[in-house]
Amino acid sequence: MVITLIGYRGCGKTSVARLLAERMEWDWVDADVKIAEAAGKSIRAIFASEGEPGFRARERTVMHQLLDSDKLIVAAGGGAILIAATRSQMRTSGPVIWLKASPETLAARIENDDKSDSTRPSLTGKSIGEEVAEVLAERTELYEEAATITIDTESKTIEEVVDEIEHQFSQQQLTN
């Protein structure tokens, strides 16, 4: 089984994956890191040389490999849900958890992340706030389609989010 964390950049996927894996004694991976490692260059450099289609092709390959694992928590890239085959494989591999927050909260988190601007390219060329609102509006339906569990991270700590995930799992196991 693979647990896949999805959501827009800044929702906390990597931080949640790290703590959830520690508690469950599973491995975890940030899919964007794996993509960059496989390419031998940063995501920003992949976008610059291959455009978004080249990046998405690389992302699909890496996600396919990761989703074929066991006892792994995957922090998926924010756009991993754009590819129908990836959404489908996420759901057949295990629970898919959408970590969601408002566009304003996501924009604030991204602006406060020193690494974000240097590692992630702009998708629209607009301000962070405008970009988050626009891209999130385009992706929300896909996040909803892919998710088996939705967690609102709006005003929660990483620990509270992981507690809620564990609670949701225990509830699902009681009903199955």
- Tens of pLDDT, residue by residue over 52-62, are 899 999 999 99
What is the domain partition of the chain in residue ranges? 2-175
Sheet holding 149-152, edge to edge: 27-30, 72-75, 2-6, 96-100, 149-152
Nearest-5° Cα angle at 66, 47 to 148: 95
Which tokens in the block code for residue 117?
A: 């601007």
| pTM of this structure | 0.89
Average per-residue pLDDT for the chain: 89
The full DSSP string for 12-35 is: -HHHHHHHHHHHHT-EEEEHHHHH
- 50: its two tokens: 């291959």
Element (H, E) at 2: strand 2-6
Phi, psi of 28 (to 5 degrees): -145, 160
* One-letter amino acid of 113: D
The average pLDDT across 131-138 equals: 88
8 A C-beta contact, residue 56 and residue 79: yes
User: What is the pLDDT confidence band of residue 114, given thresholds at 50, 70 and 90?
Assistant: low
pLDDT of the residue at 139: 93
Q: Mean per-residue pLDDT for 28-41?
A: 95
Q: Which CATH number does the domain 2-175 belong to among 3.40.50.300, 3.40.50.2300, 3.40.630.10, 3.40.50.11270?
A: 3.40.50.300
